[in-house]
Structure 1
Amino acid sequence: MDTIPLVHASLGERELAAVAEVFASGWPAGQGPKGKQLETLLAQRYGAGDAVAVSNAGAALHLAMLSLGVKPGDEVIVADYTFPAPAHAVRYVGATPVCADVRADTGTVDPKAVEALVGPRTVGMIVVDTLGIPADYAELQAIADRHGLFIVEDAACAVGATYQGREAGSLAEVAVLSFHGRKGATSGEGGALITADPAIGKDARMRASFGIGSIFDMSQVVGLPVAEFTEVGYNFKLSDIAAAILQVQLGRIPELLERRNAVAARYAEHFADEELLAVPFVPEDRTHAWQSYIVTLDAGVDRAGVATDLRAQGIGCGHGAWATHVQPVFRTDQTCPVSLDLFQRNLAIPMHAELTMDQVDQVAAVLRTAVRAHSKSGRRAA
């Protein structure tokens, strides 16, 4: 049986050629020539004061909290419906993540929920572009300005998406990107911190290399400079191998996003009349990066049963994102009912730039049959 994977990286000969160049250069490690070139490209693309290439988006979030001065006793509001990296990052620095509920239609954080959670210990918020769609930045920035808070944009899923004509990754004073294997641009693993403030970039870059900065740069200095460790840093460097791959991938974003858009449009056609599931909603003022394609099942559909049927026929699927506030490590007395509902009813189906239309048609046909077979209420689509 041919399988249709949930995710698939679009890597080919151009990326291999870029890796071969790094092998020939003799510097495959981090913060070398390719890393510097990548950071320049990222800063230009996002109109930023600086860009710091790092090992993954989680590391970028951690560095953002450190560079913004978040400390024990502080509270940071985080979007609840997401991979819980934002809550982890807040905990890394000893602060408290406060989970905000989300919009039912987009899954992005609800500005009204954020406003209600601002308190005397609140210092900022981490806003997530959920599964590829940007949040409501105009309203959120107004809240931040009223209360003197920072915003970190978690654009990990949203490379190529836009909000009011601006690209995800440029919608807040600090943003983070992910280059994980399922993203719109990938090196397998990787991430970046994008910032309008060069001072934040300088701080993050230093902390990303044990607090001493680029060993490659030191190796180019005549003599024998000996770095001093003046503060605790981390090993969050992105290898030059990954950086070389990403330089190719950044140039391919329009091509790969066009393919994902075509897949999303085909799914929407298939499910336009389906009563037992809802397709993603995209407000008119933004575009979706389609890192994932998430359908929301009717409350009467057994999601586990549907997933079992899909996987039995070689079709990859997943549950979507997480409701952070019910995860054991983050559980509190907070309630985020919309996020919890999405966590229980969302289903991710194959979405990547390598899908053929025949595969999309196959996924849609199997899914329609499965949701009907596992509808507890007995409802049937027209």
Structure 2
Amino acid sequence: MEPISLVHASLGERELAAVAEVFASGWPSGQGPRGKALEAQLVQKYGVGDAVAVSSCGTALHLTMLALGVKKGDEVIVADYGFPAPAQAALYVGATPVFADVRPDTYTIDPQSVADLITPRTVGIVAVDTVGMPADYTELQAIADRHGLFLVEDAACAVGATYQGRQAGALAEVACLSFHGRKGASSGEGGALLARDPAIGKDARLRSSFGIGSIFDLGNIVGLPIPTLTEVGYNFKLSDIAAAILQVQLARIDELLERRAAIAAQYAELLAGEELLTLPTVPPDRTHAWQTYMVTLDAGVDRAAVATEVRRQGIGCAIGTFAAHVQPVFQAQQKCPVSADLFARQLSIPMHAELRPNQVERVVEALSSAVRTHASSTRALGGAA
């Protein structure tokens, strides 16, 4: 049978043409004309003070910690359920990540859990728009304002999503985007830092290029510019090749998200009667970017066996995402029971803009069959709720 991949980037002729233009320009490296054009496009799209194109969302989060002055001894409250890049960013600067549990319905950070974790050492909060679902920013901002904390939006999965009519990526003072191959808009790898305060963008842009700024700009100065390094910097630049691809992808984002939303609706319709799993729900005050489609299996279903059977049929599937607090690297002190339960029971199934309706039907057929086959006998007979 034809394989059905878990993820697939929607890249085509328009993106290839944009790359060819970069090749012809002679500047494929970072912070060149295409990078600047992408940053201007992001500023306009999100209505922010500055946008910095970087190599990944992880590097954007690292630069955010540096720009906000997070240091050793500080605590940063982070969403537990999601890719653990925010926690790692806190560790990069010597701070301690403190893991907040999540809501059982949206899988996003629980504002009450955040409020309960604040101590005199807490300096900020990083919320995650979990697999494309925006978090509760009204409540989170109120908590941050009450305690004098920063609020950062990890919108890695949420390009195109909305919360109370506002775009994900513009819901906090700093937001970080990802353009990984799994995302709605992709250049294979890549990211961006969006900041309301242009000073944060300036700080991040300088640090992202070894602390010396744009080599392209220096090359256009008449004379002999001699860079001066005043801060430790990094090589976090996004190439102009990737920037050119992203300009095309962002112009196509509505089309690509419409396809993903149609696939999510088809999954919801076809799986509506399956009692052994729970489907994702979207609150009425927000929209989902559908980076990932996750189902939650009944506690009596053997998830590993289901995944093995589905994969044998050439259909991609994987865990939902990470419960960071159980990862040994963090040596976490917190317990996050909701996140831990989701981590144990969720399964992600194919979701990308290139899926065809007949492929979705095949995924549903394989998943439903596997779930029923690998449910405990009591649950399968209807003896447990």
Map of 1:317 onto structure 2: 317
1:207 aligns with 2:228: no
Distance 2:324 2:63 in 1: 21
Tell me how far 1:381 sits from its aligned partner. 8.9
Counterpart AA for 2:137:
Y
- TM-score, with structure 2 as normaliser: 0.98
Map Cα deviations across residues 20-74 of structure 1 (whole Å, 9 max, x no partner). Answer: 0000000000000000000000011000000000000000000000000000010
Are 2:131 and 2:290, in contact at CA under 8 Å, matched by a contact in 1?
yes
Unaligned runs of 5+ in 1: none
Q: Secondary structure at the match of 1:76?
A: strand
Tell me how far 1:332 sits from its aligned partner. 2.3
Are 2:99 and 2:332, in contact at CA under 8 Å, matched by a contact in 1?
no
Q: Quickly say closer, same or farther: Cα 1:381–1:252, change in 2 above 3 A.
A: farther
Distance 1:225 1:148 in 2: 41
1:272 aligns with 2:272: yes
Counterpart AA for 1:33:
P
5 Å-filtered alignment, 1:302-381, equals 302-380=302-380
Distance 1:335 1:373 in 2: 33
Q: Secondary structure at the match of 2:252?
A: helix
Distance 1:90 1:43 in 2: 26
Are 1:274 and 1:381, in contact at CA under 8 Å, matched by a contact in 2?
no
Map of 2:39 onto structure 1: 39
Q: Secondary structure at the match of 1:58?
A: helix
Counterpart AA for 1:163:
Y
Map of 1:24 onto structure 2: 24
Map of 1:8 onto structure 2: 8
Q: Secondary structure at the match of 1:125?
A: strand
Map of 1:239 onto structure 2: 239
Give the RMSD, CA atoms, in angstroms: 0.9
Are 2:173 and 2:197, in contact at CA under 8 Å, matched by a contact in 1?
yes
5 Å-filtered alignment, 1:143-182, equals 143-182=143-182
Counterpart AA for 2:243:
A
Tell me how far 1:377 sits from its aligned partner. 4.2
Distance 1:303 1:81 in 2: 18
Are 1:317 and 1:350, in contact at CA under 8 Å, matched by a contact in 2?
yes
Map of 1:70 onto structure 2: 70
Distance 1:265 1:379 in 2: 27
Are 1:301 and 1:377, in contact at CA under 8 Å, matched by a contact in 2?
no
Tell me how far 1:378 sits from its aligned partner. 3.7
Unaligned runs of 5+ in 2: none
Are 2:52 and 2:204, in contact at CA under 8 Å, matched by a contact in 1?
yes
Map of 1:248 onto structure 2: 248
Distance 1:381 1:216 in 2: 68
Distance 2:156 2:333 in 1: 28
Q: Secondary structure at the match of 1:379?
A: helix
Distance 2:380 2:219 in 1: 68
- TM-score, with structure 1 as normaliser: 0.99
How many aligned positions are there? 382
Distance 2:12 2:159 in 1: 19
Are 2:156 and 2:178, in contact at CA under 8 Å, matched by a contact in 1?
yes
